[in-house]
A and B are shown apart, each in its own frame.
Chain A
Amino acid sequence: MVILFFRLCAMTLTETLRQPTYVVTTLLFPAMFFWFFGVPNVKDENSARFLMGSFAAFGVLGVVLFQMTVGVAQERASSWNVYLRTLPVPATIFMFTRLFSSFFLAVLSVGCVIATALATTDISMSAERWIYFLTAVFLAGIPFAALGLVLGYLTTPRSAVPVANLIYLPFSFAGGLWIPPNGLSESVRQISEKLPTRFYGEIVWSVVLGQEVKERWMWGQAIYAVAFLAAAIYLHQRDETLRFG
C-alpha cells in the first residue's frame, strides 16, 4: 500500500506539473514577485530574511489553497473520481495523495523563493535557522490546506479558481505578506490582526529573524486550523452522503 501511495503521488505530480499555467502562476509567481518587488526593498540581511519569509509563506498559501480548492471541486464533479472508488484501494488513499502532492509542490514553491533569495541577496542563516524556518512555513500553513478543503466542498469546478483567488489575494495583502503590516492602512491593519495570513506571517517572520514567537500568534493559527478542519470534515461527510449515500 505504501508503494502504491507513492506511485499515485508521482502520477498526481506528473499530471500537475504538465500544466504550464499552474506551474508558472502557482509555483513560480512567489519567486518572481520576490525578485521583482521584494529584492529592491532589501536593505540588510534582516530585511532579506523578512521578505524571503513573506514570499515563501505567500508561495505555500497559494499552492495549498489552489491545490485543495480546485482539486477537490474538480474531483467532486469528476466521473474518474467516482471510478476510483470501484478500485480495490481505500478511498482515503486518494485524499492523502492530494495532501502529499500539495506539500511537495509547496516545497518546490518555497525552494524557488529560497533559490532566488540566495542568488539575489546576501542572506545567510545557520542550518538550524533554516530548519526552523522551513518547519514554521509548512506547519503554520496547515490551516490553509483545511481552508482549501472547505472551499473545495463549497464550490464547483467553474467557481473554484475565482473563489480561491478571492481568498488568496486579499488575505495575502491584508495579512502583510506582500507589504509589511506597518505599511498597511489603519483600517486594513485592524482587520489584518485577526487574519490567519497575519498569524502565519508573524510566526514565519519571528522564526526567520530569530525572535520569540508570541503565543497568541500560535494560538490564533491553531484555532483557525481546528475550525477549518472541523468545517472540512463536516462538509466532506455531507458530500459523501450526497454523492455516495
Chain B
Amino acid sequence: MNEVVAEFQSVSKTFGRVKAVTDLSFQIHRGEILGFLGPNGAGKSTSLNLLQGIRHPSQGKVSLFGRSPQSLEAKRKLGVTPQDLDFPSHLNVREVLRMVCWAHGRGREAELLQRLSLQKIAERRTSVLSGGEKRRLGLACALAGAPELILLDEPTTGLDVESRYVLWEVVQQEREKGTTIVLTTHYLDELDKLGDRVIVIDLGQKLFEGSVRQIKSFVDFQKLAFDLPKGFELVGINHLSLQRDDQSCVLIVADADETVRQLVHNNVPFQNLHVSSASLEEAFLHFRRRSVGGEAATGVQEGPTRPSPEALMTSVASPPPTRAPPTQPGGVG
C-alpha cells in the first residue's frame, strides 16, 4: 500500500494567465482508491491530464511509475477513462475495443466485452450507444492493457442504474486485484463506500488530503428542508448555505436545533420540516456555491459560526487530534 506509483512534486500548471493548478504535491500509493474532489474548474481534470502525460507541468515534476508520464513504459501500466469520450462513430464497439487492445499488445476484447456486459452491443456502431454504454466501453478500454493504475474522470456522471452498478462492481474487482484507482466524482457517497483517500482541490490548490471518514467528521453539517409560503422572506436565520425556490427552502446548518429555535422565534411559517445529515457532497457544494457568491442576496443572516471555506478547509487540514486522527500515512496535508 505504501509503494508510490505516481507523484506530484510542487506541480503548477498555467494556461496563459490562468493558474489551473498551483504548487500541488501528493503521492498515489499502490492498491489504493484515491478520490479527487472539487467543484467544476477546480483543477481536477487538469491534474489527471498531467498524470496521463497529455499536458506538461509549467513548474514542478509529475512522475508515473518512476518515469515521465509521457514515456511508453509508464503508459503501458496506465488505463484511462476520460470524462467525455467520443468514439470513432463508424466503428462498432468490438472494433474500438480491439483497436485499444492492439495498442496495448493484448487480445482480450472478448473477455472485456463479457466483463463489461457489452456482448449484446458488440456489433453496434458507437454513434448509437447510450451514455451508459459509452461509459462501459470507456471503462473496457481503460482495462484493455490490464493496467496497474486506472484513472477515471467522473465515471458515473449521467449513468443509468445498471451501468453504475456494473462500473462499481468492476472497480471493486480491480481493487481486490490490487489495482490502484484514481477517480474524480461528484457522488461522494460512492467514495464513502469504496474510497480509501480523498484529495479536495479548489482553484487549483489542495485544500485537504485524508480519509473519507476524516473529511466527513469535519464537515458534520445538517440539512433542514421545509415548505414556506410563496414570497416569504427568510430573515434572521443563521445558516451555512441556503437553497430556495418558490415554496420550499433547504438550509445547511451547523446546529439544527438552534436553527429550528430561530425559525420558531422569528415566527417563520414553515411546514413539513425534515431534518437530516447533510451529505459531504451537499456540504461541499453548498459551501462552494456560497463562497463564490453564487446565491442571490436573500436577507438571511449569515450564522455567526459560519466559517469561510478556506477556514473550514484549514481546520480540516489541521484537525484537532481528538476529533479524527489521520488514518492514512501522510493523510493530512
Contact yes or no, B86 A87, CB < 8 A: no
Contact check, A79 vs B84: say whether CB atoms are below 8 A apart. yes
Q: Is A44 an interface residue (CB 8 A)?
A: no
Is A215 in contact with chain B by the CB < 8 A criterion? no
**CB atoms of B53 and A88 under 8 A apart:** no
**Distance to closest chain A CB from B157 (angstroms):** 14
Contacts of B82 in A (CB 8 A): 79, 82-83
Q: Which of A15, A80, A86, A89 contacts B78 (CB 8 A)?
A: A86
Q: Mark A70-95, 1 if CB is under 8 A from B, else 0.
A: 00000000111011111111100000
Contact with A along B59-103 (1 / 0, CB 8 A): 000000000000011011010101011111011000100011011
How far is A245 from B53 in the complex, measured between Cα atoms in Å? 10
| Complex CA–CA separation, A205 to B200 (angstroms) | 68
Classify chain B: how many residues form its interface, as a range: 20 to 34
User: Chain B residues near A16 (CB, 8 Å)?
Assistant: 90
**Which of A4, A11, A87, A245 is close to B91, meaning CB atoms less than 8 Å apart?**
A11
Contacts of B103 in A (CB 8 A): 4, 84, 87-89
Interface centre among B53, B72, B75, B86 (most CB of A within 10 A): B86
A245-B56 Cα distance, complex, nearest whole Å: 6
Instruction: Say whether A86 contacts B54, CB under 8 Å.
Output: yes
Residue of A7, A87, A245 touching B55 (CB-CB under 8 A): A245
Query: Taking the complex as formed, is A14 at the interface, i.e. its CB lies under 8 A from any CB of chain B?
Result: yes
Please name all residues of chain B whose beta carbon is closer than 8 Å to the beta carbon of A87 when the two chains form the complex: 75, 100, 103-104
CB distance from B90 to the nearest CB of A (A): 4
In the assembled complex, how far is the CB of residue A90 from the closest CB belonging to chain B, in whole angstroms? 7
- By beta carbon, the residue of chain A nearest B100 is A87
CB–CB B80/A86 < 8 A? yes
* Residue B52 CB within 8 A of the other chain: yes
B31 CB-CB contact with A under 8 Å:
no
Asked if B86 contacts A79 (CB within 8 A), the reply is: yes
Q: Does A108 contact B (CB under 8 A)?
A: no
Tell me, in angstroms, the Cα distance from A15 to B126 when the chains sit together. 12
Q: Which residues of B contact A19 (CB under 8 A)?
A: 90
Chain A residue at minimum C-beta to C-beta distance from B69? A86
- Contact indicator per residue, chain B 127-171, by CB within 8 Å of chain A (1) or not (0): 000000000000001000100000000000000000000000000
Interface residue? A244 (CB, 8 A): yes
Interchain nearest-CB distance for A73 vs B (Å):
14
Residue pair A86, B52 in contact (C-beta under 8 Å): yes
Does A8 sit at the interface, judged by CB under 8 A?
A: yes
| Chain B residues positioned under 8 Å from A83 (CB to CB) | 80, 82, 85, 141
CB distance from B52 to the nearest CB of A (A): 5
B55, B72, B87, B102: which has the most chain A beta carbons within 10 Å? B102
Q: Is A216 an interface residue (CB 8 A)?
A: no
A residues adjacent to B (C-beta < 8 A): 4, 7-8, 11, 14-16, 18-19, 78-80, 82-90, 244-245
Return 15 A-B CB contacts under 8 Å, by A number. Answer: A7-B99, A7-B102, A15-B88, A78-B86, A79-B82, A80-B85, A83-B141, A86-B53, A87-B75, A87-B103, A87-B104, A88-B103, A88-B105, A89-B103, A245-B55
Known: A11-B91, A80-B86, A83-B80. 13 other contacts (CB 8 A): A4-B103, A14-B90, A14-B95, A15-B90, A15-B91, A19-B90, A79-B85, A79-B86, A80-B85, A84-B103, A85-B53, A88-B104, A245-B55
